Amino acid sequence: MDIPRYWRLRNQRYRLEGTECTECGEKSFPPRCVCAKCKSDSLQPFRFSGKGTIYSFSTIYQALDTFDKDIPYSIALVKLEEGPLITTQLADISPDEIKIKLPVEMVIRKIYEDGEHGPIQYGYKFRPVLNK
For 48-77, write each residue's pLDDT tens digit: 999 999 999 999 999 877 777 778 999 999
Please tell me the distance from the alpha carbon of residue 32 to that of residue 21, in angstroms, as a whole number. 9
pLDDT at 10 over 60: no
The predicted structure's pLDDT at residue 14? 64
Burial class (CB in 10 A: 0-12, 13-18, 19+), 126: buried
- Give Cβ neighbours of residue 57 (< 8 Å, ≥ 6 apart): 74, 75, 76, 77, 90, 98, 100
Model confidence band, residue 8 (pLDDT cutoffs 50, 70, 90): low
Q: Per-domain residue ranges for the chain? A: 1-47, 49-132
Residue 70: what pLDDT? 78
pLDDT of residue 4: 57
pLDDT on residue 126: 96
Return the pLDDT at 122. 82
Indicate the class that CATH gives domain 49-132.
mainly beta
Cα–Cα distance measured from residue 68 to residue 35, given in angstroms and rounded to the nearest whole number = 37
Whether 123 has a pLDDT exceeding 90, the answer reads no
Q: What is the pTM of this model?
A: 0.83
